[in-house]
Amino acid sequence: MSDRRRPRRVEGYAPVGDYSGIGDGRSVALVALDGAVDWWPLPDLNSPPAFAALLDPAEGGAVLLHPVGEFEVERRYLEGTNVVETVFTTPSGSVRVTDAVCTGVAGRLPWSELARRVEGLDGEVEMAWEVAPGTALGTLSPWSDADGLLHLDDLTIGVRTRGVGEPVTGPRSVSGRWTATAGATGVLAVVATEREPLPLPPLEDVEARIERTAEGWRDWSRTLHWDGPWEADVRRSALALKLLVYAPSGALAAAATTSLPERPGGTKNWDYRYSWVRDAAYTLDAFVRMGLDEEIHASLAWLLATVDRHGPQLRPFYALDGSLPSGSHTRDVPGYLHSRPVTYGNDAAEQLQLGPYGDLFQMVFLCVQRGHVLDLRTRRRLAALADRCCDLWQRRDAGIWELHDEQHYTLSKMSCWQALDRACRLADLGQLEGDSRRWAMEADRVRAWVEEHCWSEARQSYTFYAGSDALDAGVLLGARYGFDRDERMRSTVEAVLDELGEDPFVYRYSGMREEEAAFLACSFWTVEALALTGSVERAASLMERTLERTRSFGLLAEMVDPATGEAVGNTPQALSHLALVNAASAVQEARDGEV
């Protein structure tokens, strides 16, 4: 159990790091420390959010459950689960609330079901609750009918209660109050469907599903194998990643939210409820190390089918159902801490990014090493992509950071080298038919070009892009790719730490210190690069300092403000959790002499 804390809000906004996550493989609900579910898109993660007080405290909607008056909180995830237990303590007593987005006997329920069980522990505590859908980011108007059902366009929401007071239906909400006493229990359930009949399950069935959901998470956690350092942190990251896997397709969402700013009050507010090729590849790397074979196959199969469906161009990311993103729109709502614009959708899908080529080929190569055999259609598609990479690597692109300023980004070239190197290895293993001689020659050309154009003698570092002296922490991924683990990469690590580091955190690239918080994955990429270039104990020390500053979050967001220690940006961010797992693996492998 964590230390007891008093929840805090500023103008109705809770700190990003105070949210815990629960989900069912289809969507994710974020629960604030004070018991408010401030974010819950329904029925899918990328649906308009029925509950979005995270971005609009007044009209966004929330599912509230809390003591009346002042209280303190202790919260934890039940071990091995994404089920959250919160103890509220007041001057008159204490209660325990267990929160789950329920699953069924055979996996996901056909409907969405949020269950909140309340148990009186000590004394008496006056409690209040409310289920109040919002405006779906300013696009719809919720309403209640004579039967006490709530409606938001095609979404129907039912509220089921027992032992939590008499429900009172208002024009746009259902609410109640009661006094919880020691030994008494109550249940609040929110059930939702879209364009289909709404079940109103018996409360005893809902309670049973809370236990079944927790046991389902524990069953999954028991399949996770980890014998390295920082086991608790790695397991929690694995659970966070599993929360972001969109079960209907197997795609991994980059984050559960949209428009949480990279700096409060800023304009860098993106929608990350899509699946990036990069994240899929890093997920596979992490899951291979944890022995999660089912997830490995599902992720690879989804990505290969999606790439084949939309070829020949490899996109940086895809919608969770495998379709192509259709662009972005802004929503006229306040935004987190008044950070605007609030964005729905993402325009970067049309960018030329070269990094996904390396990510895809590395993903396939890992699976083949794991024992997968490529089918003939996949072999043909990959051979065509390798040929395309031979031509494209010479072009400027938007880079890993998806910038509008197209350049010859160093990391993009390293990624092309990785793609062609892995294509050659797959050909050597008999898993790819094509002109591997050409792939090998182009890989050599890429390496020579990077060494000549992307190295700064003055900085003693690989640079952000050709002809620049600016630095990019992303270039440290070149150590993971195997592009360079020698003196130049060791020197680059030092240059990055010197200019971009604010111990233990690291900014993305030159100039970002003034614009945004530190990018959390960059700290873990630095750990990994240190380990892979021989500085194992320095890597372990940086890893521990980073974890000490972020463990209290539970979920890792995109960024951290080094000055305040506050989590910043969309949450939970898959890349942050992936980078943690892969950094821990790199330290362990370096200690074992496997690098």
| CATH number for the domain harbouring residue 365 | 1.50.10.10
Domain-located, residue 140: yes
Q: How confident is residue 224, by pLDDT bands cut at 50, 70 and 90?
A: very high
Q: Identify any residues that bridge with 94 across adjacent strands, giving them in sequence order.
A: 89, 122
Q: Are 16 and 30 in contact (CB under 8 A)?
A: no
Q: In this predicted structure, what is the pLDDT of residue 2?
A: 55
pLDDT digits (tens, 9 = 90+) for 136-187: 999 999 999 999 999 999 999 999 999 999 999 999 999 999 999 999 999 9
Which contacts (CB < 8 Å, 24+ apart) does range 247-250 have? 247/24, 247/25, 247/26, 247/107, 247/108, 248/25, 248/26, 248/44, 248/320, 248/321, 249/302, 249/320, 249/321, 249/322, 250/295, 250/298, 250/299, 250/301, 250/302
Q: Which of 187, 203, 221 is the last residue of a domain?
A: 221
Are 408 and 480 members of one domain? yes
* Helix spans in 129-276 (H): 203-222, 231-244
Domain-located, residue 274: yes
- Point out the least confidently predicted range of 84-93, 111-120, 185-194, 293-302: 293-302
Domain-located, residue 5: no
| Summary mean pLDDT of the chain | 96
Beta carbons within 10 angstroms of residue 148's beta carbon: 12
d(CA 163, CA 453): 70
Share of the chain above pLDDT 90, in %: 92
Q: Residue 37's domain spans which residues?
A: 16-221
Task: Give the pair of three-digit tokens for residue 201.
Answer: 């399950």
Residue 59 carries which side chain, given as an amino acid letter?
E
Domain-located, residue 3: no
d(CA 590, CA 583): 11
Task: Give the pair of three-digit tokens for residue 29.
Answer: 């609900």
d(CA 172, CA 170): 6
Q: Residue 230 above 80 pLDDT?
A: yes
Domain-located, residue 2: no
pTM value is: 0.97
Tell me the CA distances in angstroms from 307 to 258, 277, 322, 492, 564, one per residue in order. Answer: 24, 10, 9, 34, 41
d(CA 78, CA 316): 36
Task: Give the pair of three-digit tokens for residue 105.
Answer: 């006997």
Q: In this predicted structure, what is the pLDDT of residue 552?
A: 86
Q: Which of 176, 197, 221 is the last residue of a domain?
A: 221
Are 54 and 105 members of one domain? yes
> How many domains does the chain divide into?
2
> Which of the 8 DSSP states describes residue 7?
-
Q: Comparing 594 with 252, which gets the higher pLDDT? A: 252
pLDDT digits (tens, 9 = 90+) for 432-491: 999 999 999 999 999 999 999 999 999 999 999 999 999 999 999 999 999 999 999 999
Kind plus residue range of the DSSP H or E element containing 124: strand 112-133
Share of the chain above pLDDT 70, in %: 100
Q: In this predicted structure, what is the pLDDT of residue 595?
A: 75
Are 313 and 404 members of one domain? yes
SS3 of 318-332: the string is ECCCCCCCCCCEEEC
d(CA 30, CA 255): 12
Q: In this predicted structure, what is the pLDDT of residue 298?
A: 87
> Which of the 8 DSSP states describes residue 469?
-
Q: Which of 177, 200, 221 is the last residue of a domain?
A: 221
